[in-house]
Structure formats: C-alpha cells, structure tokens
Amino acid sequence: MNPITKFIIFSILLLSLTSFGGTYSYLSDTERSMGNTITAGVWNTQVDFLEVDVSKAKLKGYGDESKLFSIVLKNTGDEKITIDMMNVGWNLFNVDMTNITSIKVTGNNEIFSGCNLSGDRLECNDFTLNKESSSKVSFHFDGKVSGPFMINFIMEDGSNKSVWFDVVK
C-alpha cells in the first residue's frame, strides 16, 4: 500500500475515532408552578350565533324565473354578526345553467346582485344581523330551479355554516 493511501485511511480512522462520542449534548429543563390556575376556554365564532330556519321555505316559479323564500336567519348572540359570502347550490343532482341573480333580505334590501351558477361563491355586501335579531332572506333565479338546496354562509371571521334542505311541495 502506498504512503498516500495509508495516510488517507489513517486520517479517516482518526477522525471517526475522535468524533465517536465526541459530540454530545445534554439539555434539561424543569418548570415548577405553585398556586396557579389554568382555565380552558371556548372561542365562539360568529357562526355559533347564526340560526338558519328552513322549515317554512317556499319555492315559486314566475314564468322563466324562480324565487326561493321564507328562510329565516337569526342572530342568537349578544353581538352583531356579519355574513361576508355565501355559496348557494340548487338542482344538485342535475346539470343546470340557471343563474342566481339576487339575494334579498327583509325590507327588499339586496345583498347580492349578479349572474352566477349553482355552487359559485357570492359576495354579500357584508350583511349584518344585529344582536338578537332576525331577517327573512329570498333567493332569485333567472330560470326554474328545484331542490335539494345547499346554502353555505361564510362569516366575517371566516367561520361557516352549511344547511341542506328540500322544499316541501
């Protein structure tokens, strides 16, 4: 074996022997706490206070248009809640090119106006329900629609609630 090869092998062995067990660390930490109390809490989101009543929902057709109405939104909390967006789905088992054209709340106030297909995300002009208040909502379409229906409410704080229902005829 030539001297250069011997030197390389000796260097590798020397490095491995010196590093074996040579890198060692020991970390320890002890925490003590006396007389303190930790309380678990619940973080309420806006959707926790949104109650959606679809038990009296009705669907009417007007020629080539439809209207889904008598859906009641209620804020059961003691602070205002804001609906930022909605996803609305209809004719869920059929391909349908009918569009939702508006969403209106009590007093004929329009919170959405557009031309969107089933399942699209709809910007709702930040509709606010004051504490312990309710409002009826109606959905307007440019064609005939049928159920089942799905409405997903997306709140200002990012929480969301979905309801699935069909209209009893």
Residue ranges of domains in the chain, CATH in brackets: 49-165 (2.60.40.10)
Question: CB-based burial of residue 110 (10 Å sphere; 0-12 exposed, 13-18 middle, 19+ buried)?
Answer: exposed
Q: Return the pLDDT at 104.
A: 95
Establish how many alpha carbons lie within 13 A of residue 78's alpha carbon, considering only the half-sphere containing its beta carbon: 0
Cα distance between residue 130 and residue 135, in whole Å: 10
CA within 13 Å, CB half, 168: 4
pTM of this structure = 0.72
Residues with Cβ within 8 Å of residue 50, at least 6 apart in sequence: 73, 74, 75, 76, 81, 83, 129, 153, 155, 161
Residue with more model confidence, 150 or 24: 150
Burial 146-169 (b: 16+ CB within 10 A, else e): bbebbbbbbbbeeebbeeebebee
Report the SS3 class of residue 116. strand
- Whether residue 106 contacts residue 79, with contact meaning beta carbons closer than 8 Å, is answered with no
Query: Per the structure block, which two tokens stand in for 8?
Result: 């390389």
Q: Kindly give the residue spans of alpha helices, DSSP state H, lying in the chain.
A: 3-19
End-to-end Cα separation, the chain, in angstroms: 97
Which has the higher per-residue pLDDT, 1 or 101? 101
Which has the higher per-residue pLDDT, 106 or 15?
Answer: 106
Mean pLDDT across 42-59 = 92
Q: What per-residue confidence (pLDDT) applies to 163? A: 96
| Structure confidence at residue 164 as a pLDDT band (50, 70, 90) | very high
- pLDDT, tens only, 12-50: 765 565 555 555 556 677 777 777 777 777 778 999 999
